[in-house]
Structure 1
Amino acid sequence: MEKSRKKNLKEARTLQVWNVIYDVTEVVISLIAGITANSSALIGWALDSTIEVISAATLGWRLHGELKGMDEEKVKRRKKITLYVIAASFTLVCLFISYDSITKLINQETSNWSTLGLIILLVSLVVNPILIYYKRKYGNKLDSPALLADAKDTFICLYQTVVVLAGLLLVNWLGWWWADPVAALLIVPYAAKEGWEAYNKAKDINYNAE
C-alpha cells in the first residue's frame, strides 16, 4: 500500500471516530429535547443523527479493513455492505418521519419550546460543515463512494438542522403549530434520494464472494 494512501486512510478513520463520538452526543441530547418538547422535527433529526452514527461506524470498519492490508475483494465487500447499511438507514428514517409527522398533522399536535434543542442545533450548524469538508476531501483522495455518500448524509443532517431550527422558531414566535411536523417532512425527499443513490452504488460493486 503506497504511503500517501495509508496516511489518508488513517486520517479518514480518525475522522470517522470523532464523527461517531459527536453524533452519539447529538443523538442523546436531541432525543431528550425532542421527547420533552413533543417535537417531530427534533426527534426526526435525532434519528438522522443515529444514521450518521451507524454510517460512520460501518465506514470506519471498512477503512480499518483496508488499512490492515485486507485483499481487494474483501475491501469491495465491505464497501458494498457499508453502502447498503446507509441505504437501509435512510429508508427507515423516511418511514418513521413520515408516519410521525403525518400523525401529528392529523391530530394537530403542537410542540413546545426547547432551549436544549436550540443549543444542540446551533452547535450542529458549526460542526457539520467541518465534517462535510473533510469527508469529501478524503472521499475524493481515496476514491471512496461510501465516504462521499456519508458526506451527503451529513449534508442532509445540516439541511435538516436549518429546517428544524426554523420550525422551532416559527412555533415559538408565530404560534404555527404545524411548522414542526412540516419541517420534519421536508427532510424526507432528500433522505429518500440519497438512500436510493447509496443503494444503486452498492449494486454496482461486484466482488468474488469465495
Structure 2
Amino acid sequence: MDQNRADLIRKGRNVEIASLVYNSAEVAISLTAGFMAGSSALISWGVDSIVEGNSAAFMIWRLHGETKGISERELQKRKKIALGVLSTAFTFAVLFILYEAISKLISQETASMSWWGIGILLVSLVVNPMLAWGKYHYGKKTDSATLKYDAIDTMICEYQTIVVLIGIGLVQWQGWWWADPVAALLIVPYVAWEAFNAGRDAWNVQSDDANNAKAENNRDEVDETTATARKNSDS
C-alpha cells in the first residue's frame, strides 16, 4: 500500500472514531431523556444510534486492518463478521421499536417535554452532515465502497432526526399524543431495510469466499495436473 493511500485510510478511520464518540453521546443522552419523558420516538432514535455506533466500531476495525496491510481474505472475513453483527442488531432494533411504539399507541400515553432530548437532536442536525461529508470524502478518495455506504447511512440518520423532532414538536405544541409513537414507527422501514441489506451483503461475502476458494482449488488441481504431465513427458 502506498503512503498516500495509507494516510487517507487513517483519516477516514479518524472520522469513524469521531462518529463512534458522538454516537455514544447520542445514545447516553437520548435514551436517558427518552425513558424519563416516556418518548418512544427518542428511545427508538437512541436504539438506532446504538446500531450506528456499532457500525462505526466495525468500520474502525476494518480500516485499521487495512492500514496494517492484512490480506484481502482477512479483510473480507472482517467485513462478513461486521455485516452479520449489524444485520442481527438492526433486526433486534426493529422488534424493540415496534414493541415500544405499539405499546404507547395502545396505552395512549403522552410523552412529556425533554429539553435534553430536543438539544441532542438539534446538535445532531449539525454534526451528522459533517460526519457524512468526511466519510464520503475519504471513501471517494480511497475508492472505499464501505466508507461511502456508511456516509449515506449517516445522512439517513439526519432524516430520522428531523422526523423525531417533528413528532416531539407535534406532541408538545399541538397536543397530538399519537405523533410520538408514529414518529418512532416511521423509523422502522429504514432499520428493517438496513437489516436486510446487511444480511444480504454478509451472504454475498460468504458466497464470494466460497467461489474464491473453489477457484483456488481448481488452480491447484490444474497446476498439479500440469506438473504430473511434465514429469511423465520428461520420463
TM-score range, shorter chain: over 0.9
Aligned to 1:60, the other structure's residue is in SS state helix
- Give matches, 1:157-172, under 5 Å: 157-172=157-172
Alpha carbons of 1:141 and 1:78: their partners in 2 closer, same or farther (altered >3 Å)?
Answer: farther
Between Structure 1 and Structure 2, the one with more helix by share is: 2
- The equivalent residue for 1:83 is 83
Separation in 1 of the partners of 2:115 and 2:45? 16
Aligned to 2:70, the other structure's residue is in SS state coil
- The equivalent residue for 1:42 is 42
Alpha carbons of 1:153 and 1:87: their partners in 2 closer, same or farther (altered >3 Å)?
Answer: farther
Separation in 2 of the partners of 1:23 and 1:111? 23
Mark the runs of 5 or more structure 2 residues left unpaired by the alignment.
214-235
- The equivalent residue for 1:114 is 114
Separation in 2 of the partners of 1:53 and 1:172? 29
Separation in 1 of the partners of 2:90 and 2:148? 15
**In percent, how many aligned pairs have the same letter?**
53
- The equivalent residue for 1:94 is 94
The amino acid that maps onto 1:56 is A
The amino acid that maps onto 2:181 is P
TM-score, length of structure 2 as denominator length:
0.84
Structure 1 residue 188, shift from structure 2 partner: 0.6
The amino acid that maps onto 1:7 is D
TM-score, length of structure 1 as denominator length:
0.93
Contact 1:51 1:86 in 2 (8 A): yes
- Give matches, 1:11-160, under 5 Å: 11-160=11-160
- Please say if 1:2 is aligned against 2:7: no
Aligned to 1:187, the other structure's residue is in SS state helix
Q: Which moved more, 1:110-119 or 1:196-205?
A: 196-205
The amino acid that maps onto 2:30 is S
Alpha carbons of 1:201 and 1:143: their partners in 2 closer, same or farther (altered >3 Å)?
Answer: farther
RMSD value, Cα: 1.5
Contact 1:83 1:146 in 2 (8 A): no
Aligned to 1:111, the other structure's residue is in SS state coil
Contact 1:24 1:53 in 2 (8 A): yes
- Please say if 1:204 is aligned against 2:171: no
Total equivalences in the alignment: 209
Higher Rg of the two aligned structures: 2
Structure 1 residue 127, shift from structure 2 partner: 0.3
Structure 1 residue 198, shift from structure 2 partner: 2.2
Separation in 2 of the partners of 1:93 and 1:146? 22
